[in-house]
């Protein structure tokens, strides 16, 4: 079995969702004079492990539930027979275990608050597609992604650096959180037909493709509003620059996505991921050096 199979199974085109909030939280901690490179790197490694383990679990559970039987998106390793189901399950458990081990280091530094965040992150990562009422199958996947890849991740990173909480961190966290939901919505729009047949009740299946496209537009454009509320933190000129990039990038993607469906939506997955990373990098940079 080649390394490429495992790399593809980890879904690298979506992993910006883990990187982006860590960057912003660490940048805000640096601005407040309490940055720890060690804590930040452990937080990043743990976040990546949780997301990759969640992706492995999704690959395994969707195969078991038959949700990938008529797949039009990128190949899923278990469904395609590239990785045996029991091997994917073991990989899921091992990767979650690694995330827990890394999280224990952060708990030693940050105490009970980080323990709570870590336990909930791992639990909901597994329950995203596993268990009798998986979040992705009852329309709660979008909310999970918004919260845990947004305010929780940014505020949690800030906390393990500074050992204090910041309202600004939680508000800034809405930026990567919303864009991460945008990535999820691309998946859900593309898989609308197969999810409907498999009774995977995503918000797109429940409320329709038109709603899904409206949701995507809102997710990729609304970070403009969050940036505007943080102009005093980023600096007026910087906030204008970031808001302009967000409006242009999000607007272009949204205007093109509205006309697509099915497999033609696949390019929007890496494109939204790139927009997420680009905006988060700019926000992190200007948090450190307001303009």
Q: How confident is the model at residue 116 (pLDDT cuts 50, 70, 90)?
A: very high
- Give the span between the Cα atoms of 255 and 247, in whole angstroms: 12
Listed in sequence order, the residues at least 6 apart from 211 whose beta carbon sits closer than 8 Å to its beta carbon are 203, 204
Domain ranges of the chain: 16-288
226-256 pLDDT, tens digit per residue, is 999 999 999 999 999 999 999 999 999 999 9
Residue 158 CB-half CA count within 13 A? 26
Q: Mean pLDDT, to the nearest integer, of 207-234?
A: 95
* DSSP three-state, residue 230: coil
pLDDT tens digits along 158-184: 999 999 999 999 999 999 999 999 999
- CA-angle at 54, arms to 144 and 37, nearest 5°: 85
Cα–Cα distance measured from residue 169 to residue 30, given in angstroms and rounded to the nearest whole number: 12
Q: Give the residue-averaged pLDDT of 129-134.
A: 92
CA distance 210 to 114: 39
Decide if pLDDT at 70 tops 70. Answer: no
Q: pLDDT confidence of 74, banded at 50, 70, 90?
A: confident
Q: Quick one: average pLDDT of 201-209?
A: 96
How far, in whole angstroms, is CA 103 from its chain's centroid?
A: 18
d(CA 18, CA 125): 13
Q: How is the chain split among helix, strand and coil, in percent rounded to 5?
A: 75, 0, 25
Q: What is the pTM of this model?
A: 0.95
**Contact partners, residue 9, CB within 8 Å, separation at least 6:** 55, 56, 59, 76, 77, 82, 83, 88, 91
241: tokens are 């620059």
**pLDDT in the model for residue 2:** 82
| CATH of segment(s) 16-288 | 1.10.600
Q: If you average pLDDT over residues 43-71, what whole number do you get?
A: 89
Total residues belonging to the chain: 291
Number of neighbours of residue 202 by Cβ within 10 angstroms: 25
Q: What is the mean pLDDT of the chain?
A: 94
| 108/48 Cα distance (integer angstroms) | 20
Is residue 1's pLDDT more than 70? no
DSSP-derived secondary structure letter, 11: -
Please check whether residue 223 is in contact with residue 100, taking contact to mean a CB–CB distance below 8 angstroms. no
Measure the CA–CA gap between 192 and 200, rounded to whole angstroms.
Answer: 9
Confidence class for position 291, pLDDT limits 50, 70, 90: confident
- Confidence at residue 68, expressed as pLDDT on a 0 to 100 scale: 65
Q: How many helices (H) and strands (E) does the chain have?
A: 16, 0
């Amino acid at each position: 079995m080649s390394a490429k199979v495992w790399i593809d199974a980890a879904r690298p085109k979506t992993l910006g969702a883990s990187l982006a909030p860590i960057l912003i939280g660490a940048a805000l901690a640096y601005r407040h004079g309490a940055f720890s490179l060690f804590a930040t790197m452990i937080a990043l490694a743990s976040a990546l492990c949780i997301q990759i383990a969640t992706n492995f679990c999704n690959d395994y559970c969707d195969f078991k539930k038959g949700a990938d039987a008529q797949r039009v998106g990128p190949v899923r390793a278990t469904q395609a027979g590239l990785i045996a189901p029991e091997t994917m399950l073991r990989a899921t458990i091992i990767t979650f275990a690694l995330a827990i081990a890394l999280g224990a280091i952060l708990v030693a530094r940050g105490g009970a608050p980080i323990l709570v965040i870590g336990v909930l992150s791992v639990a909901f990562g597994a329950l995203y597609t596993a268990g009798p009422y998986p979040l992705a199958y009852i329309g709660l996947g979008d909310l999970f992604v918004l919260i845990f890849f947004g305010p929780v991740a940014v505020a949690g990173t800030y906390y393990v650096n500074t050992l204090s909480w910041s309202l600004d961190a939680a508000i800034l966290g809405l930026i990567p959180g919303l864009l991460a939901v945008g990535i999820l919505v691309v998946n859900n729009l593309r898989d609308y037909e197969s999810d409907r047949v498999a009774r995977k009740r995503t918000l797109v299946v429940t409320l329709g493709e038109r709603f899904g496209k409206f949701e995507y537009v809102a997710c990729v454009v609304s970070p403009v509003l969050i940036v505007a509320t943080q102009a005093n933190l980023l600096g007026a000129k910087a906030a204008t620059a970031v808001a302009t990039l967000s409006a242009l990038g999000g607007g272009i993607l949204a205007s093109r996505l509205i006309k697509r469906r099915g497999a033609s939506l696949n390019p929007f997955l890496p494109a939204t991921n790139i927009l997420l990373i680009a905006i988060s990098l700019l926000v992190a940079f200007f948090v450190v050096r307001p303009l």
